[in-house]
Structure 1
């Protein structure tokens, strides 16, 4: 890809990268995302226990709602963190930003695991939990975008979707590890031990990734495309949010559409749904989630390869339509006879579809923005979409079930999100253009 700037001069060719440089860049890019998802999923799995430890209000529904609200509040700050950190990464580089972010994420995960319960320190306990979630989501606000930019900017031509899929693969690894950890704890500990200390173990283990991740990221060189851009400009790239929205607003809407049909609700809320609505042991859902992680480790890179070959935006529409059509029968079938076997089968079917749908997401988002505004563009779009249809989803669905009494609310929600996703991508000029020209990447200095 030749990137052209406002000066009209083409960028000089980047020196060839060694295999070891590429491998280090991939590992550095995905390790933080794995920690993010590990923390995210563990909080969802143990939401019921966390509610009793930090929000003992005497009303089970209200206690769970407060726990999920704390979870959602963290997501509300994500767009703010994403804009600020994304803009900083576009000015100062991917490498420095990623090194800082993993330390912030590890600190918030450690705080979550060490905070005493309400019985010990009173109102300070839920306030500390809230602070931990806000700190986590401020850092995560820039993590996905900056790491996705690093991955695709290190990728060779024709393999950018495949390299971007490694970011999703790290989520699958986190899914496998978090659910396996949760399964072992819920299987081998009594309810009293789990509530007393067992639920803290995954958070404490997750925090250990921080120092290791910082060391790995600190050793990685800056993205080749960013280095080229800096050399050509002779100063840090800069663009105001107003200018960005004017020039890249259509691309941002398209990117939000890509992320709206997200897998956040399925993976984070499903264990709570199985436990509270189907009245099955939590370990049943966690076992299926662990197997889902194994399948996704293969499914995400496969989706990336298919996207490189056929065009990510050309595959987006049929796969999303399949997901919309599958949501209702999956939930209806499980609710008709809620058994562990049916829950497991539904999880496997959903995992295959979600893997094919989500594997190319990092590459699809980075393809919409030029190097100079890539981190901010992806961060803004990604975080608004996952806040509305990811972080707020468990609280929204749980509240709607409580108000309506219908256990089919998750199916309706997934179908609604899928339709919104199709509309945003299909109605945007950027989405239509990339369906026609799947290998088109924006040039620095050109309008979207």
Structure 2
């Protein structure tokens, strides 16, 4: 399904460098690969940095931009955050198609500017008391811009990473995309806690809460500089040499000719996004509301396991390169389903920090190993001419439906059934659905790949 990788000697290198020996060319290529990894990490890391920081300071943001005497202000704050999820699929389709028409480098340069703008609106917009209704309008506009950029970021950055990867290391290079999410969570937690512990509550309320968003926005200019200096991916350059192969309508092309890989890609996304939003996003609320433990106990576990996730994601990608990505996917998805109920039951039997942390440590270590090969697997499902579009549609549909709605669905089911084990059942159902969807489609995808590109095979 994918084009054959170019040899190292034909890959793009840093412009302006005089190369006189093969060693010079190889060194320049290594520098460009490192720059590609850095450029990808910056964008995805900034996305999750903003995501976590927003959650930390949501109650303050509510009072600053959505003043109200009731809980309406907090509801409006979360609603403005949800707007980003609503526009994500739109952003994914638009930016993904742009990347497939005009190149990954141009798309990524645009995306980092949009992302930084969305973060900067929270850092600089005056309060409702100062400029009135314009304040929430600017904030919502910033969320919309950032939602569009986030929708396109994963697919475009993953395409560039995988297309630059050395032969037989595509899963490892793709895993940097997932480890950057963990890095963003760790940095946001560190900066957020530093603000809360350094300043008195009155100072935090008065404006110190803006510090994380101002710091995050500073990544924008540096990220743009790094991304602007990237050479276009070697596979896309090869595609441009045959302009007839460039998809003029990538979205239509994906929906008409690549619907089976699209379904398989959504299946690959279901379990990972369910685990992310249950164990990282919803868990702090579960710790307080259902386990009746202090909030810090859930947050500390998320911070520590996120730090470990930076390494476990890369390890998962390495294992997939050596033993086959589909084997690793089915193995760790099955393990996630098998350990979900026992660990939730273990914590509920005697709620406490030790049991909670042990459950987080084990489950999220398995999650990192599962998550690592994900980007490389998704990229391998689509040919280069529609790769960004195909990944953008499948990833954003999976995240929106099975991740974004997970906290709401689990909260509703707990209220309906009275069972505190609902999160475990949700994860088990997601794992079974992922295995069924991927298991029933990936052989067909392999046959399509073999027919379209006889020399290219999806790894088992």
Identify the TM-score tier after normalising by the shorter chain. 0.7 to 0.9
SS of residue matched to 1:221: coil
Offset at 1:388? Answer: 0.9
Aligned to 1:177: 187
Q: Which moved more, 1:10-19 or 1:390-399?
A: 10-19
Aligned to 1:367: 380
Distance 2:451 2:137 in 1: 44
Indicate whether 1:83 and 2:89 are aligned.
no
After superposition, residues 161-240 of structure 1 pair within 5 angstroms as 161-233=171-243, 236-240=246-250
Aligned to 1:336: 349
Aligned to 1:7: none
After superposition, residues 94-113 of structure 1 pair within 5 angstroms as 94-113=104-123
Indicate whether 1:36 and 2:47 are aligned.
yes
Q: Which of 376, 390, 406 is the matching residue for 2:403?
A: 390
Distance 1:282 1:186 in 2: 14
Q: Which moved more, 1:403-412 or 1:15-24?
A: 403-412
Measured at CA, do residues 298 and 175 of structure 1 come closer, stay the same or move farther in structure 2, by a change above 3 Å?
same
Contact 1:186 1:283 in 2 (8 A): no
Contact 2:99 2:107 in 1 (8 A): yes
- Matched residues, number: 437
Aligned to 2:304: 291
Indicate whether 1:144 and 2:154 are aligned.
yes
After superposition, residues 418-433 of structure 1 pair within 5 angstroms as 418-428=431-441, 430=442
Contact 1:48 1:64 in 2 (8 A): yes
Indicate whether 1:158 and 2:179 are aligned.
no
Offset at 1:163? Answer: 0.6
1:287-325: CA deviation from partner (whole Å, max 9, x where unpaired): 222211221121011100110111111221121121122
Give structure 1 stretches of 5+ with no counterpart.
Answer: 5-9
Distance 2:331 2:319 in 1: 13
Measured at CA, do residues 340 and 52 of structure 1 come closer, stay the same or move farther in structure 2, by a change above 3 Å?
farther
Q: Which moved more, 1:405-414 or 1:301-310?
A: 405-414
SS of residue matched to 1:206: helix
Aligned to 2:276: 264
Contact 2:159 2:388 in 1 (8 A): yes
Offset at 1:441? Answer: 11
Q: Which moved more, 1:126-135 or 1:376-385?
A: 126-135
Distance 1:237 1:192 in 2: 55
Aligned to 1:379: 392
Indicate whether 1:27 and 2:29 are aligned.
no
Aligned to 2:19: none
Offset at 1:147? Answer: 0.4
Contact 2:53 2:212 in 1 (8 A): yes
Q: Which of 10, 33, 42 is the matching residue for 1:15?
A: 10
Aligned to 2:21: none
Distance 1:188 1:82 in 2: 39
1:247-301: CA deviation from partner (whole Å, max 9, x where unpaired): 1101011111111112431222223333444444433333222211221121011
Offset at 1:134? Answer: 1.7
Give structure 2 stretches of 5+ with no counterpart.
Answer: 12-25
Q: Which of 287, 301, 307 is the matching residue for 2:314?
A: 301
Aligned to 1:350: 363
Distance 2:37 2:103 in 1: 16
Contact 1:145 1:379 in 2 (8 A): yes
Report the aligned-residue RMSD. Answer: 3.1
TM-score in terms of structure 1 length = 0.87
Contact 1:38 1:206 in 2 (8 A): yes
Indicate whether 1:324 and 2:337 are aligned.
yes
